Amino acid sequence: MFVPYWRQNSAASAVLIPGWYRIGYELTQRLIPGLEKEIRTLHKLVGNAVIDGRYLVVGTGEMQLMMAAYSTVSMEAEGLPVNVVIPPPYYDAYERQVKTIKPGTVTWGMPSLTLQNTENWIPLEVVISPNNPDGSIRTGALKHPRTRTVYDHAYYWPHYTPITGPLDDDLMLFTLSKTTGHAGSRIGWAIIKDHEVYQKMQLFVVLNSVGVSHEAQLRAAQLLRSAREGYQKAKNVGLDGVPTDYAAQQLLFHFAHTKLRSRWDRMNQLFQASNRFLIAQDRDPKYCNFFKEIVRPGPAFAWIHCQREEDKSCLEIFKEAGIVARGGARASKASRPTKIVTSKDAHSSDCWQKAWPLNKAQIVKDIHSSDYGQKYQSNALEQICFQRNGKWPLSLAMPKTESKIYHPW
Ligand SMILES: Cc1ncc(COP(=O)(O)O)c(C=O)c1O
């Protein structure tokens, strides 16, 4: 979804890294100052998290920071078992992570019934909000007095959900993967209230990977900086435009929000024509403090239930139709739901509209024969694929000092 935006903003987002840049471990400076500044500034600009007076730990994505959180809680658990609990449906990579890596005293799921009501275990609840896969806004569910909570707010950005206020949880995780789309750069950050928790999280990152790639951090800094600069140039822009115009104005959140909105509109119209499928998601509009208007959430996933008894596996039904979806079994502990990734292009060189094979909608016969189905098919491949603009704006003037690297031309 984000590639066309970044293609249109190549110059503003590019980084040039000379060979001498931060060669060593840089033991005293884990988080490069430019990235720290941009993370703090962007959170303030968007208003999605309290950041003043909070500690920051950068990690190789949220996946590493979640490991750091397990390790932190298990260091403080004084030998008691720590059980990671997430009410379904959830982002199932965390389950696989705990089960495969088996960190410390940490195990997956509720403990045995005999232990559950005692104080002899520590629940570590992971609250993913907005949730993957169903986009729900969640708060902690566990009542156990020793519960420790990690908040994964990867999707609490204006493209996916209305920003209703700054979050102020004790331990919150965010990631570049969902903010700017750069999942491959492997940059996530934790916002932490407590100094000891901060130290333990940082220690994990140091012992696990001796910090985070300086190149990745620099790239992240430049990406966040370009997003921030776009909004500093243009104020109070409404949401009635089209994504390409917003990309031209360097307004990342407007671009991504309107892109997701149009995908959701199309999908809703299509699915409403049928009672075979149910999109089981709350998308009630709310006022967004960032956009300064009422908006509907545009989750990165559609969480779909197949309604007919005979449709035993939703995933298979979509697969037969050539529709790219992911099974919901692992996330929900049930075989029927499935999820469609609304935020993902089929592959980087194609566009989402092509991946959505409406011309193969025979499987959805009742949709196919509806008015919308017919109309849609004629526009199915309306041309919104990005064009490589061919201009790579580097005139490779090598910077001589670090302060110039950041934005070298
Ligand atoms: C809820 C949630 N948390 C974390 C991640 C992974 O984040 P990262 O790429 O920073 O490791 C994902 C990726 O899909 C996700 O959906």
Quick one: 198 and 308 in the same domain? no
3-state secondary structure 5-39: HHHHCHHHHCCCCCCCCCCCCCCCCCCCHHHHHHH
Rounded Cα gap, residues 276 and 18, in angstroms: 57
Residue 300 alpha carbon, nearest atom of ligand 1? 16
Count of domains observed in the chain: 2
CATH of the domain at 353: 3.90.1150.10
Quick one: 224 and 274 in the same domain? no
Look at strands 277-279 and 122-128 and give their pairing.
unpaired
| Predicted pLDDT of residue 376 | 32
125 lines ligand 1 (CB under 6 A): no
| Predicted pLDDT of residue 332 | 63
Distance from the alpha carbon of residue 175 to the mean position of ligand 1, in angstroms = 7
Best residue among 57, 63, 86, 174 to mutate for probing ligand 1, ranked by most atoms within 8 Å of CB: 63
| Predicted pLDDT of residue 250 | 97
177 lines ligand 1 (CB under 6 A): yes
How would DSSP label each residue in 88-133? Answer: SS--THHHHHHHHH--TTEEES---HHHHTSSSSEEEEEEESS-TT
Quick one: 201 and 67 in the same domain? yes
Quick one: 187 and 333 in the same domain? no
| Predicted pLDDT of residue 28 | 84
| Predicted pLDDT of residue 319 | 79
CATH of the domain at 176: 3.40.640.10
Quick one: 146 and 101 in the same domain? yes
Rounded Cα gap, residues 185 and 217, in angstroms: 8
For residue 201, give the amino acid letter: M
Best residue among 91, 96, 101 to mutate for probing ligand 1, ranked by most atoms within 8 Å of CB: 91
- Report the candidate in 308, 302, 314, 312 with the shortest Cα–Cα distance to residue 340: 302
Quick one: 82 and 197 in the same domain? yes
pTM assigned to the model: 0.85
61 lines ligand 1 (CB under 6 A): yes
Nearest CA to ligand 1 atom 3: 154
134 lines ligand 1 (CB under 6 A): no
Distance from the alpha carbon of residue 342 to the mean position of ligand 1, in angstroms = 15
Distance from the alpha carbon of residue 361 to the mean position of ligand 1, in angstroms = 31
Quick one: 182 and 271 in the same domain? no
Residue 130, preceding peptide bond in cis (omega within 30° of 0): yes
Rounded Cα gap, residues 9 and 249, in angstroms: 9
Distance from the alpha carbon of residue 167 to the mean position of ligand 1, in angstroms = 18
- Report the candidate in 341, 347, 249 with the shortest Cα–Cα distance to residue 304: 341
Residue 188 alpha carbon, nearest atom of ligand 1? 10
Largest CA distance in the chain: 67
Distance from the alpha carbon of residue 128 to the mean position of ligand 1, in angstroms = 10
Residue 63 alpha carbon, nearest atom of ligand 1? 11
Q: Cβ contacts of residue 317 below 8 Å, gap of 6+?
A: 306, 311, 363
Provide the b/e sequence for 186-217 (b: ≥16 CB within 10 Å): bbbbbbbeeeebbebbbebbeeeeebbbbebb
The crossing angle, in degrees rounded to 10, of helices 61-75 and 195-209 is 120
326 lines ligand 1 (CB under 6 A): no
Confirm whether 168 is domain-assigned. yes
| Predicted pLDDT of residue 284 | 94
- E strand spans, 210-249: none
The crossing angle, in degrees rounded to 10, of helices 61-75 and 93-101 is 50
Which helix H or strand E contains 150, and what residues bound it? strand 148-152
- Please say which residue of 192, 211, 231 terminates a domain: 231
135 lines ligand 1 (CB under 6 A): no
Exposed/middle/buried for residue 286 (C-beta within 10 Å: 0-12, 13-18, 19+): middle
* Tokens found for residue 372: 């919308």
The domain of 68 spans 3-231
One digit per residue, the tens of pLDDT, for the chain of length 409 reads 899 999 999 888 988 888 888 999 988 889 999 999 999 999 999 999 999 999 999 999 999 999 999 999 999 998 999 999 999 889 999 999 999 998 888 999 999 998 888 989 999 999 999 999 889 999 999 999 999 999 999 999 999 999 999 999 999 999 999 999 999 999 999 999 999 999 999 999 999 999 999 999 999 999 999 999 999 988 789 999 999 999 999 999 999 999 999 989 988 888 877 788 888 788 999 999 999 999 999 999 888 888 888 877 777 887 787 777 777 766 665 555 666 666 655 433 333 333 333 333 333 333 333 333 333 332 222 222 222 233 333 334 555 666 655 544 3
Distance from the alpha carbon of residue 62 to the mean position of ligand 1, in angstroms = 6
Confirm whether 242 is domain-assigned. no
Confirm if 381 and 399 have CB atoms less than 8 A apart.
Answer: no
| Predicted pLDDT of residue 103 | 86
Confirm whether 24 is domain-assigned. yes
Distance from the alpha carbon of residue 177 to the mean position of ligand 1, in angstroms = 7
Distance from the alpha carbon of residue 63 to the mean position of ligand 1, in angstroms = 7
Distance from the alpha carbon of residue 126 to the mean position of ligand 1, in angstroms = 13
Nearest CA to ligand 1 atom 1: 132
